[in-house]
Structure 1
Amino acid sequence: MFLHRPLEEKDIPVICGFPQSVDELFYMFPKATYPLTPHQLKEATAHCSDSTVIEMNGTVVGFANFSRWQFRGRCSLGNVIISPSARSRGVGRYLIGYMIDIAFDKHEAQELTASCFNHNVPGLLFYPKLGFQPYAVDERQDKHGARVALIHLRLAKNEL
């Protein structure tokens, strides 16, 4: 039902349509300005590794990459988002499962981290279901200058 593959140029406009609000874009890509443009996404992916899309029935429905990747060190998930039409259908579980495989197999990482803002309740409830555990909280500011918490979660290779 799902296929994974590297990001291609043709996928970028499709992914730009995934964030449905300023908040959703902030969760996916805090530095971006809503609405997400191909230029912003290309610029972001230029500084990331393993940009991956998930297809369901031939349609791109998920995207993620690593904002940090250290061989035998730590990989950190970045720019994770699922198409609104495909949410709650297993795409996120498949996508993060595949990114876990890349982190621990290709990069031989010792841990994989993810970060979620406190308002991103779906993300905060999702990652622990995959074994991620919170380990730190940083104070940040949202697009309106309000204080928000960035909650860091990790999955250690030896905990799989």
Structure 2
Amino acid sequence: MSLSHRPVTENDLQIICGFPQNASELFFLFPKADFPLAPSQLQEAIAQRSDSTVVELDNEVVAFANFYRSETDGVCSIGNVIVSPAARGRGVGSYLIKHMAHLAFSKHLAAEVTVSCFNQNVAGLLLYPKLGFQPYAIEERKNKEGNPVALIHMRLPRNAT
């Protein structure tokens, strides 16, 4: 299994749009988007963010993330995190989040990296603490149906790596 990363390209958008398997998964990735995710919606998010990155597994795009906040008050916030259904449970998410944290600390000189995860996203809630992220706040949000959900904010200080 060979993992690598690179900046996202326009050719990747359609592939990434196929990763969310239902409206719930899309909500975890991109709460404002409508299912199914269209390349134009993804392109709009990428344009407002920085360091949009894909992970390749044996030369196939299998994951995506970016920063929705970088260099503000020494904090980089990772967002739009998604792993292809075919690559889940194979260490791809860990690789992606470790790379994004490294980018935050080395390129942006961040003091800390944050990530936020909805309470129904069990995979994310189990992954981030394994990588050193600690919860620090819970924010009430509404899902697409208007029901309350919890958005759990986690952080990884520079000295934790």
TM-score (norm: length of structure 1): 0.98
- Map residues 52-131 of structure 1 onto 2, 5 A cutoff: 52-70=53-71, 73-131=74-132
Which residue in the other structure is 1:5 paired with? Answer: 6
Deviations 1:38-89 (A, max 9, x none): 0000000000000000001110001000000016600000100000000000
- Map residues 15-34 of structure 1 onto 2, 5 A cutoff: 15-34=16-35
Distance (whole Å) between structure 1 residues aligned to residue 48 and residue 137 of structure 2: 24
Shift of 1:102: 0.3
* Regions of 4+ moved over 3 Å: none
Q: State the one-letter code of the partner of 1:103.
A: A
TM-score (norm: length of structure 2): 0.98
RMSD: 0.8
Distance (whole Å) between structure 1 residues aligned to residue 139 and residue 124 of structure 2: 16
The percent of aligned pairs where both chains have the same amino acid is 60
Distance (whole Å) between structure 2 residues aligned to residue 84 and residue 154 of structure 1: 26
Structure 2 residue 54 is the aligned partner of structure 1 residue 48:
no
Deviations 1:8-49 (A, max 9, x none): 010000000000010000000000000000000000000000
